Structure formats: C-alpha cells, structure tokens
Structure 1
Amino acid sequence: MTALIALTAEGAKTARRLQQALPDCVLYGRSARVADADRDFHDTGALIRDLFQQGTPIVGFCAAGILIRFIAPLLADKHAEPAVVAVAEDGSSAVPLLGGHHGANTLSQRIADALGGHAAITTAGDLRAGPALDDPPAGWVVDNPDRVKPVTAALLAGDSVGLTVEAGDVAWLDPDRFADEGSENVLVTERADRSGSDSLVLHPPVLAVGVGAERGVPAEEGADAVRRVLTENGLAAASVAAIGSIDIKADEPAVLAAADHLGLEPRFMTVQALEAEAPRLANPSDIVFKETGCHGVAEGAALALAGPQSDLIVPKVRLGRVTVAIAKAEKAVEGTAGRTGGRLFVLGIGPGQLSWRTPEAVAALRASQEVVGYDLYLDLCADLIAGKEQHRSPLGDETGRALKALTLAAEGKTVALVCSGDPGIYALATLVYEQVEAAQDRAIRGVRVTVVPGISAFQAAAARLGAPMGHDFCLISLSDLLTPREVIRQRLSAAAVGDFVVAFYNPQSLRRRTLLGEAREVLLTARPGTTPVAIARNLGRPGESVTVTTLAEFEPETVDMLSLVVIGNSESRLLDLPHGKRIYTPRGYAQKNDTSKTAGGIHQ
C-alpha cells in the first residue's frame, strides 16, 4: 500500500487520477480542505511521521520541503526506509526524495507515466549506468554487495566492464553496456563456487527444488537434505526460486522445514499436475505411482515449478527418508504451479489509534490477500486493507471468524485475522490453535500461523494513567459466557489475597450486572478504600475518557463493555498533578535506597 497525501483540493484531484493507474494506494486528505478522501487527517506532521515509521511508501502532493522537514529527524537506515516522493499538485513533476534504489525511482517513473509528467530522477547510476546493480529485479540476489560500488564507478567512468552469463535472462542489465572482459566484471550464475573471482556476482532465480518425504520424518532431516544436495552440486541457495511437493505433504514437517531453510513458501501440487511431468522424469517409479498416483514426487515437483522450458539438473537424490531433485529454467522461475501452504496472520491492531499499531502488524496486513474480522476492527484499519477481499462478521461469531480465516489460508492464501488489542489476550489466537488441533484436514494443519502482538487495552490504560502496573499485576475477564462464575470468584479471591494490581476486561454488559460489584467487595476485604481505581473507556478512539476514583467511591454501575477497569494494590498511590491525576505502584526502590547508604549517609 502506498499513501497519497493531499493538502489541497487540487492535489487531491491529481491524486485521484493517479489512483486509477495505481489502485494499491490510499488517499489521505487534510480535513476541511479535501472532500471524499479515503481517510482524513488534521495533523500533517504526525501523519507523515507515523506512515514513515511504519514503512509506508509516501507520495506527497505538496512542496518537497514539507516532506523533508517532517521526515529529516527520523532518518537512520537508508536500506530500511520507505520510498518518499514529492509530486507537484498538477502532476507535472515527481521527485524521489528517499529510497531511489529501493522503489522511489521506479515509483516516480510510474507516477510520471500515469500523470503525463516528468520523473526528476537524480541518481547518477540510474541516469548514466542504467538499472541499479544493487536493486535487481525481484528474485535476483546480489551475492557480494561490496563489489557494486567499484563496478558502478567503472561503468560511470566509461571503463570496460566484463559480463559473463551462465544462467538467467539478463535483458534488464542492458548487456550492450558490457564487454567480454574488463577492469571490473559481473558474473551471473546459479553456482555457489566463484573460484576466487572478484567479480560482482548476481544469482538469478532459475532453480526449483522438489522434495518428497515419508510420513513423520523429523523437520531437521528435510532442511539438512536440501542443504546437502545444493552444497554437493555446487549450487547457490540464492538462485532457488521455488520449492514444493505433492499436496498430501502440506503438513509434513520435513517438507516445511526444507522450505524454511531456503526462506521460501512451499508450493503443493495435485497428483494430476505431477503426473503430467512423467515423460520428463529421470527416475519414474511404479512404486511411487502405486502409493501416490504419480510416477515421481521430487522430480515432478521440481519440473512443474520450473516450467516447461526447464531441465532436471539434479535427478532424485535419496537421503534417508527424504528425496530431493532440482530443475533449472532458462529464465526466471515464476514458481506459480500448485498452491502455497497458506499463511495466517493473527494480529492485533491495538486499541485503534494509528500510532499504536505495531510495524509488524502493519506489514502483515499489507502482505495479506484477504482479511477476516469483526466489523469495527476492520473499520479501524480501513486504510491498510482497501482493495483487499474482506470477510466481516458481527460480534459473537468468534469461532466462525477463526475457522473462516483458517479455511481461506488452507486454500493457499495469505490471510489476516484482525483483533483489537493483542490477539493473545482475550482474543482469537487461542481459538485458532484450538481449531488447528481439532482439524483432520492436512491443509489446515499445514497452514503457517503467525501471531502478531499488539498493544493491549491494559497497556494503553497504564500509559494513560502513569505506572499502575509497576509491580505484580493480573488480568481477569468478568465475562461468564465462557468461564463459570465460580471460577471467576476464585480468581478474584486469589487476586485479593495476593495483593495484585488488577485490570478487569469485559467488566459489565447490559445482561451481566453483578460480578463487577462483587469484585469491588472482594478487593475491599484486602486493601484500603483509598486504593486508586481507574475506568478507561474507548482508549485510542474518538470519545476516549479516563476517570480516576477510589475503591470506596467506585460505582460499578457506571461501567460498560467499552471500558477497562484498573484497580491498584495496597501500595498503589494517586497523584494529583497539574496535568491531571496519575496512578503509580511502587516496586520498592525507595526502601532499597534507604538501606543502601554508606556510613556517611551517602547513597551508593
């Protein structure tokens, strides 16, 4: 997703034109100046800083200086920072300000093409030496980046630079710029051994690996088998563009571990797709056909992934209970045969405030093809999921959401299951694992589930209040929909006896009206009535409010389901400061300092 930022109606008009050509963009319009934007904003600087820190590419329809002033204090790592482009309000110029070799130059050219303007690219390498050698096409890997600078310098100086191509399509390099040999050299190869060469080595994505494994083989055997076969045949792992197997192995640990070893998502093919490769197999097996319905798993998978213009360069190798085969394609391996094993991100977006989203959650939402969630939670991240397939459901359908997300992922899709707060705290991460444990479908059991943490409501409340969780604390849900009331009462008594600071989730609803009052009475038996209490409502969302009172004066009937209740322990203290009331719970530092004095009364 790319953020288009318009400060004026004219800029927004141009941004809408750009959206027609680049649909994966979200238009942010400044309130009172821009109508019908995808998202409104009031504070330009805060928006730009938040988007930049989240790694979102930024296109500002404004003066370049505006973007520079807000982003300059945040600059730290040019290899990790997102592209930033300034565009004239009328679209006549697109200026890449940051990340020229990491997407900004390409983005500027696309903007110029779409708007009929000019891309003001200033990167010398792009202007005079052609495509940047340190920014090759997707799938290509620079083996020794330290050699990029001297090779580029030689090209800029007009010196002869040699080019040796052993694999892959090098049209993107503009081969006419190179000679057979020169003072500097570029080697394009799938081989791992460079024999001491000081050439700049580029590995093209031309290899595909097929893997077969017996049922229940330990994961490490799969990874070790692939590593050994590549090493013993002198092949670079960086040139492997795809790895796969038959679809009945979608939950096989050895196959999944082999893919992990290469940093790739495994792809799984039907028996019909593998059998279609039978005429090209080096080792067709009737035994394998009897067991699976195809004459070869490893070789068939390698060839299917590499495509019709490929050859089997490493026929099936059996290492213990794992088989590996490797195919080489003439051009880049697309690796689109079959389906992926599927991936599910169970993520938390925090209480809802833009700046409280974690970069990992933002990246997961961007990477997802489809999104599942409760209506309100999807609305809170609408800017990140625009254009994606969305599966919405009402509150109370948690099991349905978890199963829907897993089912979609099992089809080979990358899916995000969106929770508020943190997905592992009174949210859907545990329900997802319950469904996986109960599943008989190998595709569901093979889904890669990643839990992405978020800022939970109790953390947000603690930050607003000061430091109430400065010592031991516990979280208790007062909902008896899933937990028996007697169990909740036992936990309340334990929290009181243990003198824990307590945060109550799901404190009260229209139907549940008594447990919060019971909790107050239980805690009053173990801590003074002056104990601080806070009611935090709608944290990070419009209408946020924080009310501070004491345990004796606390009125449970004022609390609803949009609230979180924090009750201090016997040591928690309430401060009435000029900027508002704050609560903190001492951890014992004052006592420690009092007992760590020297004989002269000076603190150590």
Structure 2
Amino acid sequence: MEKLMPITIVCPSAAAGELAVSIKTALKNAGHPVELHGKGEIEGFDVSFADSLAHLKGVFSQGRAIVALYASGIVIRALAPLLDSKFDEPPVLAVARDGKSVVPLLGGHHGANDLAHLLAEALSAHAAVTTAGDCRYRLALDNPPKGWKLQHAKKAAAVMARIVDGEAVSVSSDLDWLDNSEIARADSAAISLDASFAPVPEASTETSLTYSPQKLVVGVGCERGIAAADLITHIESVLASNSLAPEAIGLLASIDVKMDEDAIHQAAAHFSVPARFFAVEELEAEKERLKNPSDVVFAEVGCHGVAEGAALAAAGSEGSLLVAKVKSDKATCAIGLAAEPFKAEMPGKKRGSLAVIGIGPGTPYWRTPEATSLIASAEKLVGYKFYLDLLGPMADDERRCDFPMGSEKDRCRYALEEAGKGHDVALICSGDGGIYAMGALVMELLDRDADNGGVSDAAKRVALTHVSGISALQAASARFGALLGHDFCTISLSDLLTPWETIEQRVKAAAEGDFVVAFYNPVSKKRRTQLLRAKEMLLTKRPEETPVLLASNLGRPDEELKMRTLATLDIEEVDMLTVVLVGSSQSRQWRSGDRSVGDNGWMAYTPRGYAKRIDGENRE
C-alpha cells in the first residue's frame, strides 16, 4: 500500500488538545503517520515546544505537512520568510480553535485541499478552499489523480486560468477522470486537454495541457557502483529514442540483489517514482516473454534477463514489453507497458529501512525532530519495553514489538530481518543509539555472514540510518553545568561483555590522562565492587574534592541529581539507572543562587584554559 505523507499537528495549548486529538484520529484513520506537537507539556503529545513561531518554521523547513490550530495570520507571519516556490512547499492548513473552519494556506495542489475536505468532513466543519479550479470545478488541473502526471506543470498556469474563466476545451476520451467535471467542452475548441505517452514541446502549453498515464515500467540492470548520473542519462536516452515522456513512468524495477544499489534509488527519485525489486525466480518466470534472453546473464544471476524480466514482471501478465533492452557501457534498460496506470498498489518489493534511533534519556524535549519524524512514519517500532514506553502515545500498540532486557541480539536481528522484508522499522534506543546501545550490534550483525551469526542477504540490503540522540553523559553534564567542558572519556564498568582486566586498564589510563570520566553501567544488583575499585584508582591521581555527579532517571518525572566528591562518593547511592560523572583534577564546583539548578544550586564545570586569557586581559 502507498505510504501517505506524514503530518504534524501543531497545538498552541492544552485547551485545544481535544480538537488536536480528534484531528489526529481522522488523519490516522485515513492512513497518515501523525505527530502531535504542543506548546508546553501537554499529556499524550509527542513533542513539546516553547515558541510557536519558531516551531512552525522548524517543522515547515523539514518539508513536513502541517495542520496548525492557530489563526491564519499567525501561521502566515511565521512562514512568510521561508516561502519560495509553490511547486516545492508542503501542505499547510490552519484550523479554527472552535473546529468549524479548515483553511488550506499552502500546498493546495500538493494535498492541502484534499486534507481540508477530509478534516471538514470529520469535524463537521467548512473547508475554506480558495484555489480557483477547486472553487469552480472541485478539480485541480495541475494535480491530476494518482496514475496520471501533467507534462510541463510549471508552464500550465495560463491555460488553466483560461479554463477556470469558463473557456471551452476539447477533452481526450482517455481522461475519464474528467467525465463528471463541469468544465465547458467543445470538439473544436482553441485549447485542449490531451493524453499522451509522447513528450510534447514546451510551446504547446500555450494551447493545451497534456497528461501522461503512468503505465510505463523502466526495467534496469547495471554494474555494481554505477554513477547515478550515468544510469539516469541512459534511461533518458532510451525514453527519448522511443518518443516516451518521463512523466509516463510509473516505477523503476530491477532484481532484488540490486536493492541496495544507490544509483537505482537516485534514478527513481530523479523521475519521482518508486523503485521495486523482484526475486530471481520471478524474473526467470518471464523467460518466454523476453525478446533478448541471455545464457550469460543466467549463468551470472540465475535468470535470462534482468532489465526485460523486471519490466515484464512489474507490467504484469496483461502488460507487454514496449522497448527491448538497450545497453550502455554499464547498464541495460528496457521499457514495459502495464494495462493500467500505476496507482496505490505497486508490484514487486520495496526496499525496507532500519532507523537506529536514540531518543535521549527520556523527555520528548530532548528528542530530535529527525527521530520524532522517523518514529511517526515507521511501520514497526522495535525495542526494550521500557524504552518504547518512554515514547508515550507515539508507540501505539499495533506497531510495537517489545523485547525484554537481555535480548539485545534478538531485537536487533528481528529489526533487520523485518526491514529486509520491505518494512520501515525503527529500533528504539535510550540516549544515543551509537553509545553503549544497539547501533554497534546492528553493524556487527550486518558485518557477519549469515552462517556465522549474521543476518540474511535481504537484511543486508536495507536502507540503514543512525539517528543521534542526547546521551546520558551529555544530559547529566548539562543538568549540572559543564563538567564535560574539556577532554573526557566514557567507560562501561559492566564486565558482562568486556573482561574486568581490560576495564581496569582503561580506568588506569583515564586516571593518568586526567580525563573527566563518565561511567556507564556503574553497578548492578550482583555487581557492586567495580565502581568502588574505579574510585580507588582515580583517587591515586586526582584530589579528594574532585566533583562527582550522580544523575538518575534523567529527563523523567523521578529524575534525581546529586553532587558528591570523589572522597564522599558512596556506592550505595548508585543504581543501574545512574550515570556517574567524575571530574578531572581541574574540575570545579560552584554554587548558584538559583536553587532549581544542579543539586540544590550546586553546579560543576571543567575549565578549558581560558583563565590565562582572562588573567592576561585583567593585567592589561
């Protein structure tokens, strides 16, 4: 099924929360991934913010569709400095606080008008659509239905204006989606609405709009590592040689071993179509329909044709091969013709994705917009149950794949294999996914052969993204000031995977190097001596008054912050949810008059060496 655009609902206050939830329900029922962003802490919302105008600008800059529960003027003032081309802007809608009016402000023909009508129906409201074609005909001539694409769309405004003004047009019988429109028609009109696979010259846009049915499949085969520009140029050459418009392409298709070929995905993005892949058995099933079967290709990959086979497999049993394969130095290209335009359901298999996401220590305030966006759009959320719980309402039951503590290999393997099946998966980690979390284990599984504890070939071809998060050591340092202001290191005291002798060597090196040290996994229920031993080793190299920060449950309601010294550090105050930061010999404690920061005003920092400059300026 086609993946619909993700939408961000921006809510100004808790008082508008009920309306925001109603809008979210309507959009989710329509299949859209949805995030709720609220000003201040609003229970059940995914992201909190403090400044409405700045937040609207940020979301818009990410290219995300926005439903804003604000007056139109507020949204306009926020986004006006960012506006450039109407062809690139995402949909933006303003919804009245009483829920009675839905106003599409931007991106009317990129989905905003359709969203306005959807929400108006769900809220029993009025869709205040103002675009001319929609007002007169409930029709956007520059936004045809799925499966059709307008050629020279940026040059079509003049013809569309004449049609909206009531001038009669001749309409191709192939454009049956216009049958129920109220457009004035005449067989010999001066302007026309046409349907064609062939490219039309730009000059024709003065008298006609030409729509291409997206029935073409571009089947491709290529050398590993081919430059995207070379593949795109080859496809464009084949299209031009056969008088076929790029707008008529419905999808690119290839063999599944090419699922991770970057050039194919860049070519698909260039033509604004999906890429789909087929197993070798599916391509070999098309052998009898190939125009150029090759025993050489069969010997290499197991089927008699990649480009032609993929084009035919995607075109389906009722489709045909329109253009036999054409070779370039590094690629082959064939064109298939499907019986119907490609719309929502696509043949073949899409490339799945895995996003290893660090969500920070706990609070949504510390979660990056990229992380929130990928979580909202993921088909599956995989993680330790406690971490998924931290997502709150974003981790809805139908997407959750909970794993217990200690099942790290199982959850990473599951995430990779599900992505290998074509799903978009988010693997949720606390803090930063690359710091003592699942990022490294995912990479290790990918780096191993399947018969040596690794994952399947399909899992190795997924689109992999690592999304950074705020680590516990960053959050702890920030809560107390700036203890990480100079060189620092992190050491895990867990000897479950690393021998204690190795850990001891690293603590000794950190002590001798005078690094600020962040200790992860400082203790467990059964392991109580390692932190004590680390304390003893550090005391041989730095003063007893060295500041020590104990931070537990960072960013959560039961957050606890304690300031100690290396001498007064008590192991019994530390548990599994505590990160321990030990200063260097140069680190300092300082008490602020603001008792709401640090530990009752106690803060810490590590000077970087600016004292020499400051003292020198004072002497001058």
TM-score between both structures, scaled by the size of structure 1: 0.80
2:334 pairs with 1:325: yes
State how far apart, in whole Å, the 2-side matches of 1:69 and 1:194 are: 42
CA contact (8 A) 1:84 1:96 kept: yes
Deviations for 1:351-386, whole angstroms, at most 9, x for unmatched residues?
Answer: 221222212212222332122111111122243342
The secondary structure found in structure 2 opposite 1:337 is coil
Residue aligning to 1:458: 473
Change (3 A) 1:589 1:476: same
Deviations for 1:146-184, whole angstroms, at most 9, x for unmatched residues?
Answer: 53655555555556789999x998749969468899999
Residue aligning to 1:523: 538
Q: Which moved more, 1:457-466 or 1:403-412?
A: 457-466
State how far apart, in whole Å, the 1-side matches of 2:25 and 2:399 are: 23
CA contact (8 A) 1:48 1:71 kept: no
Question: Map of 1:394-433 to 2, 5 A cutoff?
Answer: 394-433=404-443
CA contact (8 A) 2:56 2:79 kept: no
State how far apart, in whole Å, the 2-side matches of 1:520 and 1:172 are: 80
2:318 pairs with 1:299: no
Change (3 A) 1:407 1:41: closer
2:353 pairs with 1:353: no
Q: Which moved more, 1:73-82 or 1:581-590?
A: 73-82
Question: Map of 1:570-589 to 2, 5 A cutoff?
Answer: 570-579=585-594, 580-589=601-610
CA contact (8 A) 1:350 1:420 kept: yes
Instruction: Please tell me the residue identity of whatever aligns with 2:277.
Output: F
Residue aligning to 1:109: 117
State how far apart, in whole Å, the 2-side matches of 1:326 and 1:543 are: 61
State how far apart, in whole Å, the 2-side matches of 1:19 and 1:7 are: 20
Shift of 1:394: 0.6
Instruction: Please tell me the residue identity of whatever aligns with 1:227.
Output: T
Deviations for 1:81-104, whole angstroms, at most 9, x for unmatched residues?
Answer: 663442675x65434456544433
Q: Which moved more, 1:22-31 or 1:386-395?
A: 22-31
Change (3 A) 1:26 1:238: closer
Change (3 A) 1:121 1:52: same
Shift of 1:451: 1.4
Shift of 1:332: 3.2
CA contact (8 A) 2:231 2:263 kept: no
> Which residue, out of 387, 393, 414, partners 1:383?
393
Deviations for 1:536-561, whole angstroms, at most 9, x for unmatched residues?
Answer: 22112221222223223222321112
Question: Map of 1:93-242 to 2, 5 A cutoff?
Answer: 93-96=101-104, 100-128=108-136, 130-132=138-140, 147=155, 150=158, 153-157=161-165, 171=178, 176=183, 194=201, 205-213=214-222, 217-220=223-226, 224-234=230-240, 240-242=249-251
State how far apart, in whole Å, the 1-side matches of 2:252 and 2:184 are: 34
Instruction: Please tell me the residue identity of whatever aligns with 1:283.
Output: N
State how far apart, in whole Å, the 2-side matches of 1:82 and 1:576 are: 49
Q: CA RMSD in A?
A: 4.4
Residue aligning to 1:506: 521
The secondary structure found in structure 1 opposite 2:82 is coil
Change (3 A) 1:377 1:238: farther
Q: Which moved more, 1:93-102 or 1:559-568?
A: 93-102
CA contact (8 A) 1:86 1:97 kept: no
The secondary structure found in structure 1 opposite 2:563 is strand
2:253 pairs with 1:244: yes
Residue aligning to 1:561: 576
CA contact (8 A) 1:250 1:442 kept: no
State how far apart, in whole Å, the 2-side matches of 1:292 and 1:218 are: 13
Q: Which moved more, 1:453-462 or 1:194-203?
A: 194-203
The secondary structure found in structure 2 opposite 1:323 is strand
Q: Which moved more, 1:138-147 or 1:382-391?
A: 138-147
Shift of 1:198: 6.4
Shift of 1:302: 1.1
Shift of 1:187: 8.3
Change (3 A) 1:570 1:293: closer
Deviations for 1:216-265, whole angstroms, at most 9, x for unmatched residues?
Answer: x4312676245323235426666544222234x256x6x45323333366
Shift of 1:393: 0.6
Give ranges in structure 1 of 5+ residues lacking alignment.
none
Deviations for 1:298-345, whole angstroms, at most 9, x for unmatched residues?
Answer: 112112223456443431123346432122446533472221232211
Residue aligning to 1:284: 293
State how far apart, in whole Å, the 2-side matches of 1:320 and 1:303 are: 23
2:451 pairs with 1:445: no
Shift of 1:420: 1.4
Residue aligning to 1:77: 82
Instruction: Please tell me the residue identity of whatever aligns with 1:228.
Output: H
The secondary structure found in structure 2 opposite 1:352 is coil
CA contact (8 A) 1:85 1:97 kept: yes
Instruction: Please tell me the residue identity of whatever aligns with 1:477.
Output: S
> Which residue, out of 436, 443, 457, partners 2:446?
436
Residue aligning to 2:598: none
State how far apart, in whole Å, the 2-side matches of 1:261 and 1:205 are: 16
Change (3 A) 1:576 1:147: farther
Change (3 A) 1:485 1:175: farther
Change (3 A) 1:96 1:296: same
State how far apart, in whole Å, the 2-side matches of 1:172 and 1:469 are: 68
Instruction: Please tell me the residue identity of whatever aligns with 2:355.
Output: F
Instruction: Please tell me the residue identity of whatever aligns with 1:437.
Output: D
Shift of 1:518: 2.1
Instruction: Please tell me the residue identity of whatever aligns with 1:77.
Output: L
State how far apart, in whole Å, the 2-side matches of 1:382 and 1:135 are: 37
State how far apart, in whole Å, the 2-side matches of 1:141 and 1:561 are: 57
Shift of 1:129: 6.7
CA contact (8 A) 2:475 2:554 kept: yes
Instruction: Please tell me the residue identity of whatever aligns with 2:129.
Output: I
Identity of aligned residues (%): 41
Q: Which moved more, 1:467-476 or 1:222-231?
A: 222-231
State how far apart, in whole Å, the 2-side matches of 1:111 and 1:366 are: 20
TM-score between both structures, scaled by the size of structure 2: 0.78
CA contact (8 A) 2:57 2:78 kept: no
State how far apart, in whole Å, the 2-side matches of 1:192 and 1:587 are: 64
State how far apart, in whole Å, the 2-side matches of 1:139 and 1:309 are: 17
Q: Which moved more, 1:300-309 or 1:369-378?
A: 300-309
Give ranges in structure 2 of 5+ residues lacking alignment.
1-5, 451-455, 595-600
Deviations for 1:281-312, whole angstroms, at most 9, x for unmatched residues?
Answer: 32234565676665432112112223456443
Q: How many residues align?
A: 583
